[in-house]
Amino acid sequence: MTTVDRRIRALRPPKPPVDAYRAHGTAVDVERRPDGTLERALTIFLAGAECPFTCSFCDLWRWTIEGPTPPGALPRQVADVLEAFDGALPDRVKLYNASNFFDRRAVPPEDLPALASLGARFRGVTVESHASTVGPATVAFARSIPGRLEVAMGLETIHPAAAARINKRLDVDRFDRAAAYLAAHDVDLRVFVLLGAPSVPVAESVEWTVRAVEHAAARGAAMACVIPVRGGNGEMERLAALGEFTPPTLAQLEDVLDRCLAFGPTVVTVDLWDAARLPACEVCRSARIERLGRINVTGHAEPRIRCEACGA
């Protein structure tokens, strides 16, 4: 662990209790795919080992356990969710473990056959991974399921200074090599991009986010999701005090999505988790979030919401 890792972790508030044998949440959403079809996706938020990279902006560590993931824990979590699921299963399952699916410490290799068997009930399986853990194990898992595998990778930003300072240990070339590897082995790519990445000047934040999405689309991303950076992990507050981080606004999120609709066939969406907390006019906030939600699903541009209270 580096000095920067230790500093970031030391600033964190207390972690809530996490049960290694119980998923800490689920969600069912409708998503548009590159071919224009809509599919229902079940996201299972799994409890497991923390990611080793300690990114400055990360808040997913809250839902991880101390130490490595116990063998058998992840299959039990998934099986329990599927057993309790009411109604027909969705088309896709996202196995999000707040870490890297192909990190042996986070997902014990002996659990991969059981997870593949559980994933066989879906047409598509999405897992998340740092670019550096994409490799032969990824291809082997893709071949072990009857549906298509999609790997979600964080590109975050292509702003040179910001990319070097977020502590992700990832450069654009490394991302590009992982994207090319997935394409060569017929594995789909989903990409996460940040809005409001620390060290990106506020006036340039929208532009650099759009550039990152465009970069992901040019590397064959089937899906690209823009995530507004959230505070609350201690490090973001430290950077804000130094003038290196300003929370993104709802207006910036709207600007990004409106500009990125031109990057088809890549499906570009914005993450609306906690969108109600983004700085915005209290009068028109809900209508603007609803508009973004509709565009996420349809991919069709809509006029911006007009508001007499704020002049939007």
Can you give the pLDDT of all 312 residues of the chain as single tens digits?
899 999 999 999 999 999 999 999 999 999 999 999 999 999 999 999 999 999 999 999 999 999 999 999 999 999 999 999 998 999 999 999 999 999 999 999 999 999 999 999 999 999 999 999 999 999 999 999 999 999 999 999 999 999 999 999 999 999 999 999 999 999 999 999 999 999 999 999 999 999 999 999 999 999 999 999 999 999 999 999 999 999 999 999 999 999 999 999 999 999 999 999 999 999 999 999 999 999 999 999 999 999 999 987
Coil, strand, or helix at residue 151? Answer: strand
Q: Is the dihedral of CA 84, 86, 90, 94 positive or negative?
A: negative
Q: Where are the domains of the chain?
A: 3-297
CA distances for 74 relative to 44, 110, 125, 141, 274, angstroms: 10, 11, 15, 15, 27
CA distances for 264 relative to 6, 148, 216, angstroms: 41, 20, 11
Tell me, which fold does domain 3-297 have in CATH?
A: TIM Barrel (3.20.20)
